[in-house]
Amino acid sequence: MAKKKGKTAAEKQPSTAIAAGPVGKVREFIEFLEESKVEIKKVVWPTRKETITTCVAVLIVSLVVALYLGIVDLALSKIVEAILS
């Protein structure tokens, strides 16, 4: 069975100096911002061409699904109307 990767019990608990009062919360927030900045630098952003291509693909798939569902809805409503009348 694979071991779970995670923080040990000592790593999970913040030090008492950091967690004490409002000053501790400010320090935690500043640390969070610094870590976020490091992570943002690791992000590989898509190019403009990739963004436009995926956007167009999503729009086309959405239209096709909408048309399909509209036709199925219309057909089923006509069938139900025919049965009930």
10 lies in some domain: no
Instruction: Tell me, yes or no, whether 65 and 84 share the same domain.
Output: yes
Domain span at residue 57? Answer: 47-85
What Cα–Cα distance (Å) separates residue 79 from each residue in 6, 29, 72? 57, 60, 10
Higher pLDDT, 4 or 76: 76
- pLDDT digit string (tens) for 4-42? 565 555 555 555 545 568 888 999 999 999 999 999 999
Instruction: Tell me, yes or no, whether 34 and 61 share the same domain.
Output: no
* Domain total in the chain: 2
Instruction: Tell me, yes or no, whether 51 and 76 share the same domain.
Output: yes
Helix (H, G, I), strand (E, B) or coil at 49: helix
Residue 28 CB contacts under 8 Å (≥ 6 apart), including other chains: 14, 18, 19
pTM strictly above 0.85: no
Instruction: Tell me, yes or no, whether 52 and 38 share the same domain.
Output: no
Token representation of residue 82? 């025919």
Cα–Cα distance measured from residue 53 to residue 46, given in angstroms and rounded to the nearest whole number: 11
